[in-house]
Amino acid sequence: MIISIASGKGGTGKTTVATNLALSVNDNIQFLDCDVEAPNASIFLKPVLEETKPVYYPFPQLIKEKCNFCGVCSKVCEWNAIAVVKERWLFFPELCHGCGACWELCPEKALKRKEKVHGVIEKGKAGKIDFVQGKLTVGEAVPPPIIKAVKKEINKRKDVIIDVAPGTGCPMVEGVKESDFCVLVTEPTPFGFNDLVLAIEVLKELNIAFGVVINRSDVGDTRVDNFCEKNSIPIFLRIPLDREIARAYSRGEAIVNQDNGWKEKFSQLFQKIKQKDK
């Protein structure tokens, strides 16, 4: 089973839920950190990294003597990464998504495919957990290729937990795609509620089943609870604003390793998710 952990809003405790869920099960688990712009699950899982692989990203390079500045490449680029102005060819690499339309459709074959290192994948073991994380190269602006490369490492013989990037844009969509179930971590605040609703709409479009975990559940207001009750959305777990949990987090320690009560709660969360998949 592939379980993605998403949030919409950043800072809700998504990585806390993902790592503690993995540690509460431990056996036959693969963990993917797909928050490739700021991966931090390793702080809590403490993996021993054994392998690093570069991820290459394609981009177009102009062959000047072949180009007649017809502008076809500019017209087919969905991301506006190419502009042709009079007899000048302009390329904006931070907008390029490496789709290849420009060099494939150029009538003069004036563009050739080049590659650069876009980031890395790191693999290892966190106890019995198989661990994979992606890291986008600093300064690069397009995370999905790294996320795709991380997800190619999925071991279908194991239960997979994916720590997804925050937000509801392309990185989040790429992270949750093809999941069997998604856990949405939220908080009972206006921002938490707003982004929860946005994330739910994304999951509905992708036809992915989901449930909710409420972090810092004893602060804020009741809008999240009311919305979930009204729309028959299951709330699987409530995590209070607790000093001991905060202290463990600040030390980079998982709460399930500090308190057997929380280990049991996260183990029950895993069983609830598995039951929803049946």
Residues 197-238: tens digit of each pLDDT: 999 999 999 999 999 999 999 998 999 999 999 999 999 999
The pLDDT value given to residue 277: 62
The pLDDT value given to residue 276: 75
Residues 162-183: tens digit of each pLDDT: 999 999 999 999 999 999 999 9
Residues 228-258: tens digit of each pLDDT: 999 999 999 999 999 999 999 999 999 999 8
Cα 142 to chain centroid, rounded: 13
Domains and CATH numbers, the chain: 2-55+120-276 (3.40.50.300), 64-109 (3.30.70.20)
pLDDT band of residue 27 (cuts 50, 70, 90) is: confident
Residues 114-137: tens digit of each pLDDT: 999 999 999 999 999 999 999 999
Provide the mean pLDDT of the chain: 94
Give percent above pLDDT 90 in the chain.
91
Q: What is the pTM of this model?
A: 0.92
